[in-house]
């Protein structure tokens, strides 16, 4: 199938929030979403989201990188093979990213282009993305409430998430032993049979703190401990943390490139791997990684914490891969208020008893009504074929 992109659009939306989303590395005081829209010569549209939620100023920068370096190549001529386009652009952008000292920003912008091209291609084929990508199972996906704040907010957010249908919850920790234990104790006391709870440190511990704290966390039957170290720490540190922990270790959202993921699989320190298709790789590169994760006997759980389009794209990816019996992956769903997600997903997704069904239409399964976000628009970039 040949795609002829005749128009590219990048939208950055910003929405203030009343309660900051707190992480060990900082807090988000606004929600931001960078959405892309590609239009084919036949009028078919494809949508995507580019990771850029922290620090939020990076969304504008990535939109400009997409517009300056990727959009002209999307418009340059027919694209007969979406995957080949990603690989060619990945080679080009690798040098530019190194020269600029920011390969991650270029990678994220390209990931968005790839997601949008796949959405466009699936719509042209009249197929939902999960099926277009080779999936065979459309049954509802298990999901979990993510981004839950520490302190007394944690229990309140778990209770609210449970009422919305969630049966698994992930809480932000990494704020000191006493505070973290005080956060988790009432949450675990409140859990009902069959519910699960995970923690996310967001790379907030050094090696000594990580080894000590995973031992402290032995008192809680955690489903996993996420990013106890920064992603660039040596394998021996991860091995020591894994050995000290009672619970599985999860990571991967901040890895970039096939080599990094396959090295992580070879090292064997992570039980749960979490590539983010809007941050690196799109569908083209992330799908093979996810399949390799499952093939290695690990659990694949797509990372995403942002707006509507990235969430739905991650759901389609998980629907293709799912997991081995007893190791089914979970869809990460940011449980914090975010109008940039909620306005677009109104009536699209519904959580029931810890699972969410995919929308039925072609491509993503819904057409994001970006005009409804006009009050939040901060940046708009457009290119057309002359």
Residue 96: the pLDDT is: 94
CA–CA gap between residue 239 and residue 234 (Å, rounded): 9
Residue 139: the pLDDT is: 95
Residue 21: the pLDDT is: 87
Residue 9 backbone dihedrals phi, psi, to 5 degrees: -135, 140
Helix (H) or strand (E) holding 307: none
Residue 68: the pLDDT is: 97
Inform me whether the pLDDT recorded for 370 exceeds 90.
yes
In angstroms, the Cα distances linking 85 to 81, 102, 124, 309, 325 are 6, 21, 18, 21, 35
Sign of the torsion angle spanned by Cα atoms 176, 177, 180, 186? negative
Sign of the torsion angle spanned by Cα atoms 216, 154, 148, 317? positive
CA–CA gap between residue 162 and residue 344 (Å, rounded): 22
- In this chain, the answer to whether the domains covering 5-127+373-384 and 131-356 adopt an identical fold is no
The mean pLDDT value of the chain amounts to: 96
Taking Cα atoms as reference points, which of 227, 246, 247 lies closest to residue 238? 227
User: What is the per-residue pLDDT across 268-288, written as a single tens digit (0 to 9) for each?
Assistant: 999 999 999 999 999 999 999
Inform me whether the pLDDT recorded for 24 exceeds 90.
no
Mean pLDDT of 333-354: 95
Q: Specify the pTM.
A: 0.97
In angstroms, the Cα distances linking 115 to 82, 176, 234, 239, 277 are 10, 39, 31, 34, 8
Pick the CATH number of 5-127+373-384 from 1.10.730.10, 3.40.605.10, 3.40.50.620, 3.30.390.10: 3.30.390.10
Residue 53: the pLDDT is: 86
Inform me whether the pLDDT recorded for 22 exceeds 90.
no
Give me the residue spans of the domains in the chain. 5-127+373-384, 131-356
Residue 11: the pLDDT is: 98
Contact of 19 with 31, CB cutoff 8 Å: no
CA–CA gap between residue 171 and residue 159 (Å, rounded): 13
Inform me whether the pLDDT recorded for 386 exceeds 80.
no
Mean pLDDT of 189-204: 98
Inform me whether the pLDDT recorded for 28 exceeds 90.
no
Which of the four pLDDT bands, split at 50, 70 and 90, describes residue 172? very high
Pairing label, strands 196-200, 355-356: unpaired
Residue 132: the pLDDT is: 98
The token duo for 159 is 């209770």
Mean pLDDT of 32-61: 96
Inform me whether the pLDDT recorded for 360 exceeds 90.
no
Residue 178: the pLDDT is: 98
Q: Cβ-count burial of 194 within 10 angstroms (0-12 exposed, 13-18 middle, 19+ buried)?
A: exposed
The residue behind tokens 């340059």 is: 76
Residue 376: the pLDDT is: 98
User: Degrees (nearest 5) of the Cα angle 147, 130, 82?
Assistant: 100
Helix (H) or strand (E) holding 125: helix 103-125
Residue 114 backbone dihedrals phi, psi, to 5 degrees: -65, -45
| Superfamily of 131-356 according to CATH | Enolase-like C-terminal domain (3.20.20.120)
User: What is the per-residue pLDDT across 76-132, written as a single tens digit (0 to 9) for each?
Assistant: 999 999 999 999 999 999 999 999 999 999 999 999 999 999 999 999 999 999 999
């Amino acid at each position: 199938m040949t795609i002829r992109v005749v128009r590219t659009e990048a939208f950055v939306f910003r929405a203030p929030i009343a309660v900051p989303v707190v992480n060990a590395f900082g807090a988000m005081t606004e929600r931001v979403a960078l959405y892309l829209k590609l239009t084919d010569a036949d009028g078919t549209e494809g949508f995507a989201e580019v990771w850029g939620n922290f620090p939020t100023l990076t969304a504008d920068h990535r939109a400009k990188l997409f517009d300056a370096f990727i959009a002209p190549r999307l418009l340059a001529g027919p694209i007969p093979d979406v995957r080949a386009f990603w690989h060619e652009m990945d080679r080009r952008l690798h040098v530019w990213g190194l020269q600029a000292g920011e390969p991650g920003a270029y990678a994220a912008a390209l990931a968005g282009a790839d997601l949008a091209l796949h959405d466009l291609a699936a719509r042209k084929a009249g197929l939902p993305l999960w099926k277009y990508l080779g999936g065979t199972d459309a049954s509802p996906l298990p999901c979990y409430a993510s981004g839950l704040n520490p302190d007394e907010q944690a229990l309140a957010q778990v209770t609210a998430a449970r009422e919305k249908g969630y049966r698994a919850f992930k809480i932000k920790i990494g704020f000191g032993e006493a505070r973290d234990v005080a956060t988790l104790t009432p949450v675990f006391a409140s859990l009902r049979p069959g519910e699960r709870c995970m923690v996310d440190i967001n790379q907030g511990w050094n090696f000594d703190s990580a080894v000590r704290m995973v031992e402290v966390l032995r008192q809680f039957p955690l489903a996993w401990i996420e990013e106890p170290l920064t992603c660039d720490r040596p394998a021996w540190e991860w091995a020591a943390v894994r050995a000290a922990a009672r619970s599985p270790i999860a990571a991967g959202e901040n890895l970039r490139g096939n080599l990094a993921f396959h090295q992580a699989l070879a090292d064997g320190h992570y039980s749960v791997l979490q590539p983010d298709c809007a941050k690196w790789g799109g569908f083209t590169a992330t799908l093979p990684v996810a399949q390799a994760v499952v093939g290695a006997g690990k659990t694949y759980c797509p990372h995403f914490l942002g707006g509507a389009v990235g969430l739905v794209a991650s759901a389609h990816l998980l629907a293709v891969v799912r997991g081995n019996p007893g190791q089914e992956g979970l869809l990460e769903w940011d449980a914090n208020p975010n109008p940039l997600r909620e306005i677009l997903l109104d009536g699209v997704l519904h959580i029931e008893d810890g699972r969410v069904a995919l929308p039925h239409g072609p491509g993503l399964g819904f057409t994001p009504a970006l005009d409804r976000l006009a009050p939040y628009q901060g940046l708009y970039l457009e290119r057309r074929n002359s």
